[in-house]
Amino acid sequence: MKKVFGVFGDPIEHSLSPAMHNAAFSALGMDCVYHAFRVKPEKLENAILGAETMGFGGLNLTVPLKEAALKLDCVKPDPLAAGIGAVNTIVFRDGEILGYNTDGLGARQALLETAVEIEGSKVLIAGAGGAARAIAFQLATDGADIIIANRTEERAVELAGDISAAKLPGKVRGTGLLELRTLIRDADILINTTTLGMHPRTDASIAEAEDLHPDLAVFDIVYNPLETKLLRDAKAAGAKTVSGVLMLVYQGAEAFRLWTGAKPPVELMKKTVLEALKV
């Protein structure tokens, strides 16, 4: 009987995780299948417990469920997920429901693959949601100095305080968007964790084209469209660009490893996502 895996979210129709993971299972000859399920936050605990009861192999969680999962009594987070404050991967093992967060590791690997230096870099993160938490926590662990800029300044300040309390090597502070243009000029790495630029609002961006510069690395975690307005403007400015596809693939690859113990076929997963985005 096939082992079932899945991703929970709301909305979920846009997810490329089923294509990516099903390609990986097929390539490795595993009798497994991965589906997307629309789950509302108030039904999350029932959905996770139902998946466990039905013998699912594991789950991914996406917006808006990552932070909600950490509050559930049935989920036991590992120290990294607890520190980040969000869970994006669920593993069912030995009668326990274990929660992990692979987003930060995915972002880290995406930057490293693009030859972006993290340690000692000045990183500006736009947004203060679940993805921002994971990325900021990971990059602060790796020794980057981080500024989190968010429309609601209080949320950015609160997130910075949470990360600073962990006493990681990198410094972190939060601010609003009023000084964004100045912050971009002083940054080494700009990371967009908001939904600005995501399909169908493809003409939106967190930054003005004239504020981007050649010494900047620009990372947009939005992957649909494949090249966002932010990345197009960054490329035109001579900046290094990092696609959100890489984070999607590497966070998924780490989840695959946690579920199965097998080495994930990363290049195939990347190829599958890119082909899906070109349809």
Nearest to 272 by CA among 90, 83, 15: 15
pLDDT in tens, 7-50: 999 999 889 999 999 999 999 999 999 999 999 999 999 999 99
Residue 97 contacts residue 74 (beta carbons within 8 Å)? yes
- Burial (CB < 10 A; 0-12, 13-18, 19+), residue 213, is middle
Q: Give me the pLDDT at residue 141, please.
A: 95
Its pTM stands at: 0.92
Residue 224 has pLDDT above 90, yes or no: no
* CA 132 – CA 250 distance, rounded (Å): 16
Q: Give me the pLDDT at residue 129, please.
A: 87
Nearest to 170 by CA among 160, 179, 155: 160
pLDDT in tens, 123-135: 999 999 888 999 9
Domains of the chain: 3-101+246-277 (3.40.50.10860), 104-242 (3.40.50.720)
Residue 59 contacts residue 48 (beta carbons within 8 Å)? yes
- H/E element, 36: strand 32-38
Q: Which of 62-71, 157-166, 214-223 has the lowest mean pLDDT?
A: 62-71
Annotate 41-92 with three-state secondary structure.
HHHHHHHHHHHHHCCCCEEEECCCCHHHHHCCCCCEECHHHHHHCCCCEEEE
Q: Which residues are catalytic?
A: 66
Q: Average pLDDT in the 168-197 region? A: 95
* CA 142 – CA 265 distance, rounded (Å): 26
Alpha-helical segments (H) within 54-196: 66-70, 79-84, 103-113, 130-141, 153-164, 180-186
The token duo for 7 is 């991703």
Q: Give me the pLDDT at residue 29, please.
A: 97
